[in-house]
Amino acid sequence: MPKELNKSPIVFDLFDTLLDESSVYKQFFFHVGKKYHLEMNAEEFVKKLFNNQHKFIFGNSSKTYKEITKLSYIKLIKQANPNDIKLLFDLYQKMEFFPEIIELLPKLEKRHDLFILTNIDNDLLERVNLSAKSPVRFKKFFTAENNKVYKPNPKAYQTVVDYIKLPKEKITYVSSNDWDIKKSKAFGFYVRSIEDLKLISVM
């Protein structure tokens, strides 16, 4: 185990688990929806765009997350200008923690070392500016760019295990995404929900 690690580890997925990513994508929709007179609502747009992203990710694409997102957008809206996607990435600066997460993390930090595993590119993670928004210090960020692979590829999960140097079943993994929950549990992580952690924090 890394020398600075002295409490049991919890590894979080980042988007729509800690940060409200969907709301940023909905803001993006309100811009492009009017521009292209889209016949779908914000929820449909976000779901379809995420599904397109997942096809690339599940296919073990070697493209960056930004490239995947751009291709997913163009696939969804054939007439769209590819440069529209710059607005979405600019909106990442406005992405915020869910209010309940802001309250929960300091309680967990007292008894756990906290990590993040995410499929994002490093520059997008910097754009989110987590250090200025987070109520806690995360021990390490594992990004797809650094890992050279996207989760749910087991190699992404194994990178975390290799760093923490504990049996995978001793590492708590938290995600709100069904596919991530299933795959991380199959990998061998001790998978919990945010609701589970709320209960732990008051014990």
- C-alpha gyration radius of the chain: 17
What are the residue boundaries of the structural domains of the chain, listed by start? 8-20+95-201, 21-93
Residues 6 or more apart in contact with residue 30 via CB below 8 angstroms = 42
> What confidence tens digit (pLDDT) does each residue in 10-66 have?
999 999 999 999 999 999 999 999 999 999 999 999 999 999 999 999 999 999 999
As a whole number, the mean pLDDT across the chain is: 94
| pLDDT of 200 | 77
List Cα–Cα distances, 162 to 47, 52, 165, 166, 171, in angstroms: 33, 30, 5, 8, 11
Q: What is the dihedral of CA 159, 167, 197, 11, to 10 degrees?
A: -10
The CATH code for residues 8-20+95-201 is 3.40.50.1000
Give the global pTM: 0.94
> How many angstroms separate the CA atoms of 28 and 62, rounded?
25
